[in-house]
């Protein structure tokens, strides 16, 4: 690529916004550069499933809000992000066919617009965001920019791939069991899952549930600025995370005081992880110690208590997705309306009683309190692999629900517990294996302490920069 498309391909959102603010480029020119990259790069990667380029051109040509990302091209995930006048398929072929337009923006999408972002389309996601790979029958597989034969992870796989490939500098993502952090780890980008109640789920979602939204990005400063721009309660929110002591971008400059960090190198159930993932977490531990922190093998013992009740609560938002699909079709659902694995989960969900769900919620409440207790006993952070194995080859997840569940367990073992506890966690791209695939490491902070994660992630980024490392897919 040549011209502005090439010049801005690896430029982060903060730098792109400065180009617009200084008058060096216009928002329209910046958008056209992103459109060119999507047209050149996406046929191989398949990250962008809906292109709203004409509408985006009209937005970019009008006066934009004076937000921190004024004029920066942006993509929404095809799930959990209602955008007025635009469809959302949730990765489902029936909803793709219906192409129903959302009546209004979600609270978060409205805040994205207020930040000055120019929304140009949607990124791929597995059906109903239900798998840690992005290979929906409705849109086809999204391929990892670092190796096109491998998965991007999921469910924000399209978003992570678009950012990793340099199509856009930052993209919307959501996380119900690891769906920001897993694709961030697989694609070599930064993915922060905020605390429960940090980002409003209004007016359609429930911020009390396990899912939360933000973005994937190339740099810590972009994620910090995004969190500043879009966090805070919305009308009717019942769960509200404590306000930060200062803007998150102010955490970027100074190294944090020495922290006490626990290290978990096996899954909470005690299973060994892939050697690449173990190597990554110990390399991160060594770097943290070089930076003055104290790392010791320790973790919340209660993490081992995670069981199928946590899985039931973590996957419960799918029930709303199924209801929305049935309402859209105006009839009862059939196996032909969704993929085989999704249908199997739909059938299993219908067999869960209200009493069983209430018992699961109670179990999760106890789990949350026991896990969070560890952070009150002298520890500041927990360091883990983000996933227990590297990105899988495309096609590894088939139609056998038992095989899919077994594979899924290896990707969500370190991420899902913190959707249940509501704590913030970030996947940091510090390691690549011998095959050239990114391997992420996860840092988890106490509830409401995104400031600590941003400060430490920024310190790691200064010590071992990753933004200049770019993929050359084969």
Q: Is 39 a known active-site residue?
A: no
Catalytic residue among 89, 179, 195, 200: 179
C-alpha 345/C-alpha 321 separation (Å) is 12
- Kindly list the distances between the CA atom of residue 437 and the CA atoms of 145, 152, 183, in Å, as whole numbers in the listed order: 9, 10, 12
**Catalytic residue (choose from 89, 130, 151, 155):** 155
Q: Are 469 and 218 in contact (CB under 8 A)?
A: no
Q: At what angle do helices 220-230 and 13-22 cross, to 10 degrees?
A: 70
Q: What distance in Å separates the CA atoms of residue 24 and residue 58, rounded to the nearest whole number?
A: 20
The rounded distance, in Å, linking the Cα atoms of 126 and 391 is 15
> Is residue 106 annotated as part of the catalytic site, yes or no?
no
Q: Is 466 left (phi over 0), alpha (psi -120 to 50) or beta?
A: alpha
Query: In degrees rounded to 5, what are phi and psi of residue 283?
Result: -65, -40
> Which of 77, 200, 217, 388 is the catalytic position?
77
| Alpha helix stretches (DSSP H) within 46-180 | 53-61, 93-98, 107-114, 157-164
Q: Which helix (H) or strand (E) holds 16?
A: helix 13-22
Sheet strands (E) in 157-198? 170-175, 190-193
The yes-or-no answer on residue 388 being catalytic is no
State the catalytic residues: 77, 155, 179
């Amino acid at each position: 690529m040549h011209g502005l498309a090439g010049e801005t391909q690896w430029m982060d959102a903060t730098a792109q916004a400065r180009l617009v603010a200084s008058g060096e480029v216009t928002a329209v020119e910046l958008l056209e550069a992103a459109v060119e990259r999507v047209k050149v790069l996406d046929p191989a990667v398949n990250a962008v499933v809906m292109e709203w380029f004409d509408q985006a051109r009209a937005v970019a040509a009008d006066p934009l809000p004076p937000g921190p990302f004024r004029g920066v091209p942006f993509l929404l995930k095809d799930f959990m992000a209602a955008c007025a006048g635009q469809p959302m398929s949730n990765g489902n072929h029936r909803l793709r066919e219906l192409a129903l337009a959302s009546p209004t923006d979600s609270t978060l999408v409205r805040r994205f617009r207020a930040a000055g972002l120019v929304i140009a389309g949607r990124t791929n996601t597995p059906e109903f965001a239900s798998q840690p790979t992005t290979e929906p029958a409705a849109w086809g597989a999204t391929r990892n920019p670092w190796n096109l034969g491998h998965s991007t992870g999921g469910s924000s796989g399209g978003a992570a791939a678009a950012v990793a490939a340099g199509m856009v500098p930052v993209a919307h993502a959501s996380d119900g069991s690891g769906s920001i952090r897993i694709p961030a780890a697989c694609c070599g980008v930064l993915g922060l899952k905020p605390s429960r109640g940090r980002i409003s789920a209004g007016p359609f979602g429930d911020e009390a549930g396990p899912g939360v939204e933000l973005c994937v990005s190339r740099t810590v400063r972009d994620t910090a600025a995004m969190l500043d721009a879009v966090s805070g309660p919305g009308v009717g929110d019942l769960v509200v995370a404590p306000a930060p002591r200062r803007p998150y971008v102010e955490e970027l400059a100074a190294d944090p005081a020495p922290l006490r960090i626990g290290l978990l190198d096996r899954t909470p159930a005690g299973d060994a992880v892939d050697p690449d993932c173990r190597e990554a977490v110990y390399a991160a531990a060594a770097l943290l110690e070089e930076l003055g922190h104290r790392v010791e093998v320790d973790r919340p013992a209660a993490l081992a208590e995670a069981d199928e009740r946590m899985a039931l609560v973590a996957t419960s938002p799918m029930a709303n997705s199924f209801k929305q699909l049935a309402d859209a079709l105006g009839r009862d659902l059939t196996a032909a309306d969704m993929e085989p694995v999704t249908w199997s989960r739909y059938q299993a969900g219908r067999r869960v009683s209200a009493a069983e769900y209430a018992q699961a919620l109670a179990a999760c409440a106890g789990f949350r309190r026991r896990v969070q207790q560890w952070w009150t006993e002298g520890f500041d952070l927990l360091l883990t692999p983000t996933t227990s194995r590297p990105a899988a080859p495309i096609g590894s997840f088939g139609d056998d629900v038992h095989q899919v569940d077994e594979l899924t367990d290896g990707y969500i073992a370190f991420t899902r517990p913190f959707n249940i506890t509501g704590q913030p966690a970030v996947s940091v791209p510090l390691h690549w294996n011998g095959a050239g695939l990114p391997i992420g490491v996860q840092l988890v902070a106490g509830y409401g302490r995104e400031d600590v994660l941003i400060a430490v992630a920024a310190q790691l980024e200064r010590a071992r920069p990753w933004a200049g490392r770019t993929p050359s897919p084969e």
